Amino acid sequence: MSQEVFSFQAETQQLLNLMIHSLYSNKEIFLRELVSNASDAIDKVRFEEITKTNLLPAEKDAGIRLSVVPENRKLIIEDTGIGMNREELIANLGTIANSGTKKFLEKLNESDKRDAQLIGQFGVGFYAAFMVAEKIIVETRGASASEAWLWESDGSGTYTLEKGNRTARGTRIELTLKEDEKEFLEEWRIKGIVKKYSDYVTYPILWLDKESKEERLNKSTPVWARNKKDNKPEDYQELYKQLSGDWQEPLLWEHISVEGLLPFQSVVYIPSVVPFDLYQRESHGLHLYVKRVSIADKCKELIPEYLRFVSGVVETDELPLNVSREILQQNSKLPNIRKQVTKKLLGSLQNLAKNDAEKYTKFFEQFGAVLKEGFHFDRDNHEALADLARFRTTTTGRDGWVSLKEYWDRKADGQREIYFLSGNSYDAVAASPHLEALTSRGIEVVLLTDPIDEWFVMDYPKFGEASLKSIAKGDLDLTGVGKEPEKIKTSEELAPEKIAPLLEVFRRICGETLKDVKISKRLVDSPCCLVTDEFAMSAHMERMMKASNKDFTGSKRILEVNPNHPIIRSLVNKVASNPADVALEEWVDVLYDTALLAEGSPVRNPGQFAKKLTKMLEAHNL
């Protein structure tokens, strides 16, 4: 039969034009696609061999063979798979009728044109070869075919078909590379692409040198696909370094093998030190393999963002071999894999916390702030996260840590809430006047200093039956909680009506900036402090909001004064003797500013504050 000439359908030609003009930035994936197709072809013939006895034999042992003829710019990919007959060549390479070409083209907006993963979504991986080739020749013979066929095209609008000379089953693809794509003739380049994308393809990928000697390029069964007992610790450590680029050993790893409706294998690692890109949110994800073919090296859909320090690999046969990023985002199976991987990881951390508290504490000191993001994004695992969270308190000090359970197990008599205080730093909150009444009663207070903690207490307001209570918000009633504090000895117990005139002076002078002025039940040693309404933002949260939005105003505070403090008692007497004393305004202003400083907020006018404070010191001959 003489050579036949066929025209590509219009949509196919449009696709080829895109390929030929290199609209894809990651051209190297053409080899991944051709190797994947070859692996599929060998899979198919192995299945056929189970049910059929009259199949053509392969010329060589099962495998995929790569070779080059540099002087002719030829790259050759040959497999021992099922091959194709004439009709299958026309159906699979002459058109893209079964792959939704029109839908594929509709997806090609400007951003997608730079997305190499999109190629495989509609089964057009073979055509990716036109990104680097000016001509492609396919010689193939089906396992049950009586003759071989030769397909040839330069992608310009037509392809030809004629009988071939191949005697064995399988397919040989010969690419004549473009002049400016000769890098894909280099041995190191080809080996690098195979290692990156196809290192764990089931069948041997062989490199044929000039003497036709074969060198296997891909590995054998990967670590995650073996039985756990067949792996050594060194095997896991080597895989970790390969995946993460971290030269140190991981803190721990989890080998996951799941069977059933959604089988998958996985090995995931928690590092021993913080990765440099921990807060580069585009960098997280697990390496995804489908049927031993690398699909994505940072698949975000496989791990929640609050575990972004985790590295690892997942392999499943339950996804289409050629999957794009869009398919990954929409695939309903990935959330199920993520759910199981997350559960295993949190369980591993719980075991570590239980069996090696010192090692777990080192982990939490590095990754705790990120882990606590899970309280906002992963409600299904709240209890596991609550078991893992650690906090500094007024009892542990700067270097100690306590879990919520440990805190609650040693709660004070009569305590029904978990008391906490948030601020910019440990030093700031540990010295806060808001702690005074609680520490005097022997009540432990959780000190929250991570920015994420403000969201943590909103997303996890109760631990068991105990509510989390900010000691800097709303009223604080400690009646019957903890030990009764010693009575402060004063010459006279000030009645509320005696203090009322001073409170009015505060309201008159600071009325525009304060919501109210009250007698405090939370102060022991300090003259005053600022608190917010029960359901308002905390002062710390408002500071963070102001840092990101200069127009944010926040809410007005409530100033609480300590009726037993000497300064307040002295001011009560000043008001009683001379309500018009001009010094009163200076004292009120300075006390208000010191309350602002104590809560971690800036004073209203630093210069004026310094002058007034200096004047007061001079008046006392200091």
Give the pLDDT confidence of 431-454 residue by residue, as tens digits.
Answer: 999 999 999 999 999 999 998 998
Can you tell me the mean pLDDT for 277-296? 80
**pLDDT recorded at residue 22:** 47
Instruction: Give the start-to-end residue ranges of the domains of the chain.
Output: 4-216, 223-354, 391-470, 496-619
Q: Across 218-222, 244-248, 280-284, 529-533, which has the greatest mean pLDDT?
A: 529-533
22 vs 187, residue with greater confidence: 187
**pLDDT recorded at residue 103:** 47
Distance CA 528, CA 518 (A): 10
CATH superfamily of domain region 4-216: Histidine kinase-like ATPase, C-terminal domain (3.30.565.10)
Distance CA 94, CA 380 (A): 50
Residue 140 near residue 171, CB atoms below 8 Å:
yes
Asked, colleague to colleague, whether 4-216 and 496-619 share their fold, the answer is no
Find out if CATH 1.10.645.10 is the number for domain 391-470.
no
What type of residue is 422? Answer: S
Distance CA 175, CA 135 (A): 6
CATH architecture of the domain 496-619 equals Up-down Bundle (1.20)
Q: Which residues pair with 294 in a beta bridge?
A: 289
pLDDT greater than 50 at residue 287 = yes
Handedness of CA 465, 471, 473, 475 (dihedral sign): positive
Cβ contacts of 117 within 8 Å, gap of 6 or more? 295, 296, 323, 324, 325
551: its two tokens: 């127009």
**pLDDT recorded at residue 105:** 45
**pLDDT recorded at residue 111:** 44
Distance CA 419, CA 438 (A): 9
pLDDT digits (tens, 9 = 90+) for 537-560: 888 888 888 888 888 888 889 999
The mean-pLDDT minimum among 1-5, 233-237, 350-354, 393-397 falls in 1-5
Find out if CATH 3.20.20.140 is the number for domain 223-354.
no
Can you tell me the mean pLDDT for 210-215? 88
Q: 443 to each of 420, 427, 481, 497, 584, how far by Cα in Å? A: 11, 19, 8, 31, 36
Q: 472 to each of 223, 233, 478, 522, 562, how far by Cα in Å? A: 53, 50, 13, 9, 15
Q: Which residues of 581-601 are buried (b: 16+ CB within 10 A; e: fewer)?
A: eeebebbbbbbbbbbbebbbb
| Pairing status of strand 557-561 against strand 514-519 | parallel
pLDDT interval class at 362 (50, 70, 90): very high
pLDDT greater than 90 at residue 490 = no
pLDDT interval class at 487 (50, 70, 90): low
pLDDT greater than 90 at residue 269 = yes
Can you tell me the mean pLDDT for 363-387? 95
pLDDT greater than 50 at residue 104 = no
Q: What is the mean pLDDT of the chain?
A: 86
Can you list the alpha helix ranges (DSSP code H) found in 130-263?
187-198, 233-244
Instruction: Give the global pTM.
Output: 0.73
pLDDT digits (tens, 9 = 90+) for 36-63: 889 888 888 887 887 788 899 888 888 9
Can you tell me the mean pLDDT for 413-422? 95
**pLDDT recorded at residue 11:** 66
pLDDT greater than 50 at residue 563 = yes
Can you tell me the mean pLDDT for 87-114? 57
Can you tell me the mean pLDDT for 298-304? 91
| Pairing status of strand 264-270 against strand 311-316 | antiparallel
